């Protein structure tokens, strides 16, 4: 069940359940780590912030589930959705998770060596996802937009999207494998008994990222690419 935060919810619980809240708490200097058992209202007052305003900001972070039928929408809309939802999410989440992992590994790396391995996997994954999204945004998606607007034949001189789509699919497969290894290393993202709020925020953040990347890859592999191939098949 997703957490619906109120002024009474312990701030540590909010930080764990809604990973993006950590950025807000850090900016507003709310103590979510050692003072994690205080409720949101108390933590906000101690930091000299308006509790209702902080709660409003946190509630705004909980993302709407993706209920739209993307098999019917305009291709351009689907591309906009992928960029504004999933690419944007990753660009925000990757540096946030990376700095959480650095903190956790510094404090708990001795007792939890799995965190160090997890960081190595994260480094590999993030190092691939960044150029991957750049290739989509700069090469593949503009080509798909041109095909959707002008038709497959009119854009033939720009090359076929088949080769870049295959490369993207190979990279998706690799990302999926790394995510599986990360989940194994992190014991299904169940934090150990002695985990602090930062440790918990890292695990729930990584789990949220995994879910988002799964949905993201699903949209590209199972909806976007087949629809582009269909357009090509119709013109032959
Ligand atoms: Fe993508
Ligand atoms: Fe992709």
Question: For residue 9, what are its two tokens?
Answer: 């919810």
Cα 216 to averaged position of ligand 2 atoms, centre (Å): 7
Neighbours of ion ligand 1 (CB under 5 A): 136
CA of 194 to the centre of ligand 2 (A): 36
**Cα(78)–Cα(216) distance, integer angstroms:** 11
- Measured from the alpha carbon of residue 166, the closest ligand is 2
* Distance from C-alpha of 148 to C-alpha of 231, rounded to nearest angstrom: 8
On whether the CB atoms of residues 221 and 171 are closer than 8 A, the answer is no
Q: What is the pLDDT along the chain (236 residues), one digit of tens a residue?
A: 567 889 999 998 888 778 788 888 888 989 887 678 899 999 999 999 999 889 888 887 765 555 577 888 999 999 999 999 999 999 999 999 999 999 999 988 888 999 999 999 999 999 999 999 999 999 999 999 999 999 888 888 888 999 999 999 999 999 999 999 999 999 999 998 888 899 999 999 999 999 899 889 989 999 999 999 998 877 65
The structure's pTM equals 0.73
User: Cα 51 to the chain's mean position, in Å?
Assistant: 27
Question: Nearest ligand, CA of residue 89?
Answer: 1
């Amino acid at each position: 069940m997703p957490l619906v935060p109120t002024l009474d919810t312990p701030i540590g619980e909010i930080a764990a359940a809604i990973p993006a809240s950590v950025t807000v708490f850090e900016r507003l200097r709310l103590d979510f780590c050692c003072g994690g058992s205080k409720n949101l209202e108390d933590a906000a007052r101690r930091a000299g912030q308006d509790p209702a305003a902080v709660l409003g900001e946190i509630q705004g972070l909980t993302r709407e589930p993706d209920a739209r039928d993307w098999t019917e929408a305009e291709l351009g809309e689907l591309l906009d959705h992928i960029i504004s939802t999933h690419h944007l999410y990753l660009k925000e989440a990757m540096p946030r998770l990376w700095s959480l992992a650095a903190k956790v590994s510094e404090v708990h790396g001795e007792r939890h060596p799995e965190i160090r391995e997890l960081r190595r996997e994260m480094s590999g994954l993030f190092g691939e996802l960044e150029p991957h999204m750049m290739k989509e945004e700069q090469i593949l998606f503009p080509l798909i937009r041109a095909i959707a607007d002008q038709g497959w034949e009119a854009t033939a001189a720009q090359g076929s999207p088949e080769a870049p789509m295959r490369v993207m699919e190979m990279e998706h497969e690799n990302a999926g494998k790394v995510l599986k290894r990360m989940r194994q290393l992190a014991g299904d993202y169940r934090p150990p008994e002695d985990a602090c709020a930062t440790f918990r925020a890292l695990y729930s953040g990584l789990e949220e990222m995994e879910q988002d990347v799964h949905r993201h890859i699903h949209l590209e592999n199972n909806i976007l690419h087949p629809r582009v191939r269909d357009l090509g098949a119709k013109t032959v």
